[in-house]
Structure 1
C-alpha cells in the first residue's frame, strides 16, 4: 500500500512535540510538506524529513495535493485552513478548539461532508490510558450512575510551552479568540461528555483574566455544568497554577468514587462503598513537561488506512466547543445558559 502523504500546517509546539514525531513514527505516513509563517521553522522540518517548506498553506495545498493535513495554527485560522484543506481534497486533523464559533465549526463539518473527506479534532484526553481505563470501568456498571463530578486542567500558562514564549499568539485575542478555556477547558468539556456518555444541558460560568498581564484572553474559569442525565459538577481551566499542575477528574457515583490523575503512582483509583479499593497503574496523562504519545495521530492515520470515520469527529468537537461558548455567554450575561 502506498503511504499517506501528510502535510503539517503550523510548526509550533504542538506540531513539534506531538504531530510531527508521531507521524514520523507511523509506518503508513510520508511527511511531504511543512508550513509556517516563520518559514525557517518549516524549512527545518522539511530538511529533516526530506519534505518541502511553505509559508502559505494555500500554496502548499495547491502544489502538494496532500492526502491529509494536520492544522496546528492559531485558533482563528482553524476554520479557514480546515475548509481550504477539505476543498483541496485532504482529510483534516485540526487542533482544539476546532473553531472560534459555532458557525465556523458547522462550516468546517459541511466542507468535509461536501468534499467527502474526514474531519477529526485532536481531543487527545479521550485516548490517554487513564481515561480509557476510566471509561471501561464506568461502562462495567460497578460504580452505578455518576451523580456529581469535578474535572480540572490547570498549568502555569503557555509562556513555557509556546515556541514564542510570552509573545505567543495564545495571548493575542484576535488570534486566540479565547485563552485558558480554548486551550484547556475544551479538553475537559470533551472528556466529561465522553466519560459520562452524556451531553451538557446547562452551564453557569465565572471567567476572568486574573493574573496574566497585557492580555485580554481569559486565564481562569470555573464552570458549573448540569448534564442531561441530571448529574452536576464543575469544570475548571487555569493558566495560573504556577505550582501543582492539575489534570485530574473525580466522579462521585452511586456505589463509590473514581479518582483519575490524583495519585502520582496509580492513575485510576476506585473506592467502593463496601470498603474495597481498586488501584490501576495504566500509564500517565500527558503533560507539557512529560510528553507521552498522544494517540491522536495513530488514531487519525488508522481512520485513513481503514477508511473508518473518526470517533472524535467534527460533530463531537463542535459539541465540546459549544459547552465553552455557552460558558462565555454565561459570563457575559450573568445567566445560566441552556444548550
Structure 2
C-alpha cells in the first residue's frame, strides 16, 4: 500500500502532536519536520525517525511531500501554507487560518489555484459530543435553534505562552465561534463584545471577553472566555456549550472528562478528549482530525472544515475584536 509522505511545519506543543499522529497512522509516513528552533526540530525528528529542517521551504523542495501540517504560531500560518500550496502539497493548518481576512484569502486562493486540499483544524468538530449535538440540531431534533451559550476558560499560563503572538478571540473562543456558526444553520449578521483587562495587564493582553453573535435566522449566541485560571485548578480547561431550541435543548460539559484523580497533594481531571495518550498511543479529537485529513487526501474528498468555514469564524472573531475596542455592535455579511 502506498503511504502518503507527511511533514510538519512548527513542532512545538501542537506540531509535535501532529507529527505523532502521522507517525502512528498506517496510511502515512512522517518523513520530515521543520522548525526554526533547531534543537526542537532535531528532537522531534529523532523521536519519530524523520528528517529535521529549520527551513520549511527547503523541506518542501527536498522531500516530495504529499501533505503537510502547518502548526506555527497563529500569526505565522500564511507563508508556510501558501508555499506548500505552490509546491503542490495538501495543507492542514491549525486554527485560526490566519489573523486577518486578507491573509486567510491568500491561503484559500493559493490552495484553490494550485489544486490542493485545504483543511483548518477545528478539533471540536471531531469531538463525539459536539458532533452528536450537531447531528441532532441539523436533523431538527430540538426544533429551530433559539439561543446558544458557550464558555471556554483556561489557565493564566496559557496567556503567558500564547499571548505573545495571539489573543483569546483568535486562539481560544474561536472554537466556540465555529460551533455557533455550525449549530445555527445560518449566517452571522452582527457581533457585540466587551473585554476585561486585569490579571494580564503586564502581558499586554486582555483577561476575558464576553460577547453576543446574532444570526440571519433569528438565533443568537453568547459566550464568555478567559485565560486567568490559577495553576492549582483541577482542570486546564473549563468548556461548556448549551443550545436551546423551540423543541428541546442540548447541554455539553467538558469541565470533567469522566475521570477524577485524587493524590496526596493534588486533585486533577485529566483531559481525555483532545489529545490524551492512552496505551502508548495518541487518542482523541486531534488524532481524529489528522486522520480525517489523511483520508480526504487519500480518497480525493473535500476535508471538513475547509477554508470557507475557517474564514467565516475568523470574520466573526475580527468583528468581536472591533466591537470590544469601539464598544459598539459590528455588522457582518
Q: TM-score, normalised to structure 1's length?
A: 0.85
Which runs of 4 or more aligned residues in structure 1 lie more than 3 Å from their structure 2 counterparts after TM superposition?
A: 157-160, 241-245, 262-266, 287-291
- Partner of residue 251, structure 1: 243
- Partner of residue 115, structure 1: 114
* Unpaired segments ≥5 residues, structure 2: 259-270
- Partner of residue 61, structure 1: 60
- Partner of residue 2, structure 1: 2
- Partner of residue 131, structure 1: 130
* Unpaired segments ≥5 residues, structure 1: 161-165, 267-282
Q: Shift in Å at residue 292 of structure 1?
A: 2.7
Q: Shift in Å at residue 256 of structure 1?
A: 2.6
- Partner of residue 338, structure 1: 331
> Separation in 1 of the partners of 2:163 and 2:257?
34
Q: What is the root-mean-square deviation of aligned Cα atoms in Å?
A: 2.3
Q: Shift in Å at residue 297 of structure 1?
A: 0.2
Q: Is the 8 A contact 2:15 2:72 kept in 1?
A: no
Q: Is the 8 A contact 1:102 1:318 kept in 2?
A: yes
> Separation in 2 of the partners of 1:138 and 1:293?
20
> Separation in 2 of the partners of 1:84 and 1:118?
14
1:193-204 matches, within 5 Å, as 193-204=181-192
Q: Match for 1:326 among 306, 315, 319?
A: 319
Secondary structure class of the residue paired with 1:315 = helix
When the two structures are aligned, how many residues end up with a matched partner? 311
Q: Match for 2:171 among 183, 201, 204?
A: 183
Q: 1:223 to 1:87 in 2, by over 3 A?
A: same
Q: Match for 2:299 among 302, 306, 314?
A: 306
- Partner of residue 263, structure 2: none
Verify: 1:215 aligned to 2:203, yes or no.
yes
Q: Is the 8 A contact 2:239 2:255 kept in 1?
A: no
Q: Is the 8 A contact 1:89 1:117 kept in 2?
A: yes
1:145-294 matches, within 5 Å, as 145-159=144-158, 166=160, 168=161, 170-172=162-164, 176=165, 178-242=166-230, 243=233, 245-261=237-253, 264=256, 285-286=273-274, 292-294=284-286
- Partner of residue 81, structure 1: 80
> Separation in 2 of the partners of 1:10 and 1:296?
17
> Separation in 1 of the partners of 2:86 and 2:275?
34
Partner deviation per Cα, 1:132-163 (whole Å, 9 max, x = no partner): 11112223323111111101211114549xxx
Q: 1:201 to 1:82 in 2, by over 3 A?
A: same
Secondary structure class of the residue paired with 1:246 = strand
